[in-house]
Amino acid sequence: MTYLLHQNILEQAEKAPDHIAFRCGKEEYAYADLAVKMQQLAAVLQDSGVRRGDRVGIFLHRCLETSLAIYGILQAGAVYVPIDPTLPEERIRYLIQDCGIQCLVSHPSQRRRLAVFGADEGMLRTIIGLEAEWAVPTISWEAVWSAPLAQAPRQLEKDLAYIIYTSGSTGNPKGVMHTHYSGLTYARLTADLYDIRSTDRIGNHAPIFFDISTLGYLTTPLVGATTVISSDAHVMLPTSLAKLIEQERLTIWYSVPLALIQMVQTQLLPSLDWSALRWILYGGEPFALGHLRQLMAELPHVGISNVYGPTETNQCTFYNLPAPPVDDTPVPIGYLWGNTEMLILDEDDQPVSDGEPGELLIRSGTMMKGYWNNPERTKQSFYEHTAVSGMVHTFYRTGDLVLLDENGLLQLLGRKDRQIKARGYRVELDEVEIAILSHPQVREAAVFPKAAADGQSKTIAAAISWKEELPIPELIGFLKQKLPPYAVPEDWTKYPELPRTPTGKIDRKLLQKVALQK
Amino acid sequence: MDVKDTLIQFIQHDLIDDDQPINSDEDLLTTGLIDSVRVMRLVNFVGEAFAIEIPPEDMTIDHFISVDAISDYVASRKS
């Protein structure tokens, strides 16, 4: 039994040296290759002054080297911090400084983006993966391939393994800290739940700064499976993405619903051979029911799992759909998975009665250690619960409203902070959104508050894109049958496609800004 | 202007607004040079500028990976 993530690579390199660990495009690493290369990268990092617990940034697009960067950094005893190269410069600077990053792992293809980060970046000392002259000393990949193999320093399972920065609806992004223990617990639980084995080929769609990627990067080496990384080109061109699932004989796919919707919309699925596929996992946001029904109708042989969990807890519930949704009832987030406990609390932190809505709090082996460099936010997000035994247990406040229904299934109602008062009535914006999405002709929808003309009260605004265009009054008529009149949006903006954040979620902040400017 | 020059002009000035010149064999898609919104603008531009209709099954990496690839694709559709 290993207790450090990188030991999984070394173990698989002994067991199945030639088995492919990671693949992207036409390039791939067998387990034995990766074991050697990650030890070389670790040696170069250690030589650059990286020590146990230091944070090392990964500045890469979707490519094969992401896997090497992750495991080389872990082998050096350090903590990997994915940085989205498409973020605004200021945001990247903030992240480098907040996290105290002294070293970046990158690639020559990022030279245009990296050009703005010079010697005045404070902490930044070395960039690995670039060639030639730079404001900061660089070490090329060629030089890495001639390095000796590094021994990992002595480490504990409670050492940090990675920090993922979440955008956060207000203020600066927060660095969510995960340990080797939480990463391995996640890997073990997913392997058990979806029966993942060495013969599996997992399609990774998410960039590494999105925690959905931990299935492809952390679970795969635990069981000796293969992860096929979708390149940025595949992600941008759904036709190529759909063909990748066929060509690579993928058995497990995990992404946000949007990627699946786009592939269905190419109308190529009936002509493609996805027979190897046995699981589709989706998470990040609800799946519009019309699309979900269509996907399931085209893939009767594939199990569909709705995955729920904030970055702070990684996955904590699952719901494997027994059949396509028949009516417009939202898909539940389902059941807690192994080694996980929950509380559902009301506004006074008292447990709610059965079937009543409340905030979901989670305690699990996949829970974060806290927010990097932010003890205050960490304290606010944790809740100390005294059990009947007198023991005090720490739970994470998800900020999500749920209820436990009569069948023992958890239903997600929306965000606690997405509750607003519209014309004096309390409205759950997410409920409104779900109601709109239940209309078969709606493709995407987002609902948000907007200041009313009097500047005091709030009204509800909506942004939508159509599957098939429908007059707005008709949609409003549909909504009036489902929602109280004060919860029906008054302000509508139509989009060909809703704008998305880099992690593929709907960009609500941008939509809100556009609605305000109208 | 031939097809390649037209494409380079569009990509460099309208799509990415970068002083560094684009090579006709440069990878446009896998390195973060252009994002998903810009890819759709590129596909639309190719359709309009060269008066061809591009069906979804043709919107693939092979056809759009570089200026050279797009130029070959346009030629194959024109012939």
Which of B31, B33, B39 has its CB closest to that of A237? Answer: B39
CA A79 to chain centre: 18
Q: What is the spatial distance between Cα A431 and Cα A436, in angstroms, rounded to a whole number?
A: 9
Chain A residue at shortest CA distance from B43: A237
Listed residue (A93, A65, A98, A66) closest to A82, CA to CA: A66
Residue A484 has pLDDT above 90, yes or no: no
Q: Residue A444: in which H helix or E strand, if any?
A: strand A442-451
CA A425 to chain centre: 33
Range A355-379 average pLDDT: 95
Q: Which chain A residues are within 8 Å of B61, Cβ to Cβ?
A: 231, 233-234, 237, 240
pLDDT at A401: 92
pLDDT at A195: 98
| Dihedral, A133, A137, A141, A142 alpha carbons, nearest 10 | 70
Q: Is residue A118 very low, low, confident or very high in pLDDT (cuts 50, 70, 90)?
A: low
Residue A119 has pLDDT above 80, yes or no: no
Which residues of chain B, if any, have pLDDT below 70? none
| Dihedral, A257, A259, A262, A263 alpha carbons, nearest 10 | -110
What is the tens place of the pLDDT at every residue in A330-347? 899 999 999 899 999 998
Which of B30, B33, B56 has its CB closest to that of A239? Answer: B56
Residue A218 has pLDDT above 50, yes or no: yes
pLDDT at A278: 98
Verify whether the Cβ–Cβ distance A231 to B29 is below 8 Å. yes
What is the tens place of the pLDDT at every residue in A251-294? 999 999 989 999 999 999 999 999 999 999 999 888 989 899 99
Coil, strand or helix: which one is A57?
strand
Q: Is residue A362 very low, low, confident or very high in pLDDT (cuts 50, 70, 90)?
A: very high
Chain A residue at shortest CA distance from B41: A236
Chain A residue at shortest CA distance from B32: A61
What is the tens place of the pLDDT at every residue in A85-107? 888 788 888 899 999 999 999 99
Q: Is residue A1 very low, low, confident or very high in pLDDT (cuts 50, 70, 90)?
A: very low
Coil, strand or helix: which one is A114?
helix
Name the token pair of A330.
């939202």
CA A375 to chain centre: 23
CB A68 within 8 A of CB A30: no
Which of B27, B32, B57 has its CB closest to that of A239? Answer: B57
Residue A169 has pLDDT above 60, yes or no: no
Q: Is residue A380 very low, low, confident or very high in pLDDT (cuts 50, 70, 90)?
A: very high
Q: How many angstroms separate the CA of residue B26 from the nearest CA in chain A? A: 10
pLDDT at A454: 66
CB A268 within 8 A of CB A197: no
Q: What is the spatial distance between Cα A152 and Cα A73, in angstroms, rounded to a whole number?
A: 10
User: Which residue type, as a one-letter code, is found at position B2?
Assistant: D
Q: What is the spatial distance between Cα A68 and Cα A263, in angstroms, rounded to a whole number?
A: 29
Listed residue (A204, A174, A184) closest to A74, CA to CA: A184
CB A121 within 8 A of CB A114: no
Provide the mean pLDDT of chain A: 91
Question: Between residues 5 and 24 of chain B, which touch chain A (CB distance below 8 Å)?
Answer: 18, 20
CB A394 within 8 A of CB A378: no
Residues paired with A103 in a beta bridge? A56, A126
Size of interface A-B (CB pairs under 8 A): 63
Query: What per-residue string of b and e applies to A400-424 under the rule 16 or more CB within 10 Å gives b?
Result: bbbbbeeeeebbbbbbbebebebee
Q: What is the spatial distance between Cα A479 and Cα A485, in angstroms, rounded to a whole number?
A: 9
pLDDT at A311: 94
Verify whether the Cβ–Cβ distance B31 to A232 is below 8 Å. yes
pLDDT at A508: 84
DSSP 8-state symbol, A102: -
Q: What is the ipTM of this complex?
A: 0.84
First-to-last C-alpha distance (Å) of chain B: 19
Residue A212 has pLDDT above 90, yes or no: yes
Q: How many angstroms separate the CA of residue A265 from the nearest CA in chain B? A: 9
- How large a percentage of chain A has pLDDT more than 70? 96
Residues paired with A385 in a beta bridge? A393
Q: Is residue A419 very low, low, confident or very high in pLDDT (cuts 50, 70, 90)?
A: confident
Residue of higher predicted confidence among A428 and A409: A409
pLDDT at A68: 98
What is the tens place of the pLDDT at every residue in A47-82? 999 999 999 999 999 999 999 999 999 999 999 999
Range A207-228 average pLDDT: 97
Q: Which chain A residues are within 8 Å of B64, Cβ to Cβ?
A: 233, 237
Which of B20, B29, B58 has its CB closest to that of A233? Answer: B29
Range A424-447 average pLDDT: 86
Residue of higher predicted confidence among A190 and A111: A190
Range A406-424 average pLDDT: 84
Q: What is the spatial distance between Cα A232 and Cα A205, in angstroms, rounded to a whole number?
A: 9
pLDDT at B20: 75
- DSSP letter string, A243-301: HHHHHTT-SEEEE-HHHHHHHHHTT-GGGS--TT--EEEE-SSPPPHHHHHHHHHH-TT
What is the tens place of the pLDDT at every residue in A73-89? 999 999 999 998 888 78
Verify whether the Cβ–Cβ distance A112 to B18 is below 8 Å. yes
- How large a percentage of chain B has pLDDT more than 70? 100
CB A64 within 8 A of CB A88: no
Which range (A112-126, A311-325, A349-363) has the least confidence? A112-126
